[in-house]
Amino acid sequence: MYDIAVIGSGPAGASAALFSAKAGKKTLLIDNNKGMTRRALLKNFYGIMEINGPDVVDLGEKQATTLGAELVRDKAIDIQKNGEAFQIKTESGQYEARYVILATGAITDLAEKIGVQTKPATEPRIKTILVVDMNGKTNIDGIWAAGTCAGASVHAIITAGDGAKVAINIISEINGERYVDHDVLKPTT
Ligand SMILES: Cc1cc2nc3c(=O)[nH]c(=O)nc-3n(C[C@H](O)[C@H](O)[C@H](O)COP(=O)(O)OP(=O)(O)OC[C@H]3O[C@@H](n4cnc5c(N)ncnc54)[C@H](O)[C@@H]3O)c2cc1C
């Protein structure tokens, strides 16, 4: 069983997955490659002068998998609670996870199907978002949401940060104490 399954590997989902995997949590990333970031040219991503959307998404997936997340290229079609775990059904498989992060961008059909509460969006061209609390929790215990689908923004830097935030909140809940992920530069002599 996975500790955390992330649905969607755009900036929000891959960012959540890399934090989760780096924290030692068994992490699954399910994505069907239909994200809006693949159509963007980013000139406003902090620390990078300019990058094509597809490059940032590919790099994000590479970073998450290098740190230990497992990436499955598939569409999640159902999520049901079964005891302590969620059964995640995809078009060609089935997976089990303790926590789920929905990071599905502008797409909210899966969330609506499984009973996640939604509301009208305020960002241009986004119709519906999921109702989440300040930590990223939805109305279904164990299902969290991040990025554009959670109403964070339609800006990549913000959705990436939101994915990281939600992952850190889940990791902290699992660990029972606040989690911080810092790597420190070796001092130069
Ligand atoms: C044309 C265009 C230009 C843009 N330009 C900029 C810009 O210049 N600067 C900027 O900051 N932002 C820009 N954006 C916005 C930016 O791409 C988004 O705000 C943000 O990156 C969304 O990130 P996300 O991870 O929430 O969603 P996405 O990047 O959309 O990722 C969601 C992922 O979830 C997957 N998914 C959805 N449902 C399922 C499912 N059931 N099963 C499996 N996978 C699923 C999708 O395939 C996708 O890969 C632009 C967007 C567009 C469309």
33 lines ligand 1 (CB under 6 A): yes
Residue nearest to ligand 1 atom 8, measured at CA: 42
Residue nearest to ligand 1 atom 3, measured at CA: 40
Q: Tens digits of per-residue pLDDT, 154-173?
A: 999 999 999 999 999 999 99
Distance from Cα 22 to the centre of ligand 1, integer Å: 23
pLDDT at site 133? 98
Three-state secondary structure readout of the chain: CEEEEEECCCHHHHHHHHHHHHCCCCEEEEECCCCHHHHCEECCCCCCCCEEHHHHHHHHHHHHHHCCCEEEECCEEEEEEECCEEEEEECCEEEEEEEEEECCCCCCHHHHHCCCCEEECCCCCCCEEECCCCCCECCCCCEEECHHHHCCCCCHHHHHHHHHHHHHHHHHHHHCCCCCCCCCCCCCC
- Can you give the residue ranges of every domain in the chain? 2-175
103 lines ligand 1 (CB under 6 A): yes
Closest CA to 116 of 104, 108, 106, 124: 108
Give φ, ψ of 83 to 5 degrees.
65, -125
Looking at residue 169, its amino acid is: N
Distance from Cα 37 to the centre of ligand 1, integer Å: 4
Looking at residue 137, its amino acid is: K
Q: 2-175: what fold?
A: FAD/NAD(P)-binding domain (3.50.50)
User: pTM of the prediction?
Assistant: 0.98
pLDDT band at 189 (very low <50, low <70, confident <90, very high): confident
What percentage of the chain reaches a pLDDT higher than 90?
Answer: 98
Strands 93-102 and 85-90: antiparallel
pLDDT at site 21? 98
92 lines ligand 1 (CB under 6 A): no
pLDDT at site 141? 97
Distance from Cα 144 to the centre of ligand 1, integer Å: 17
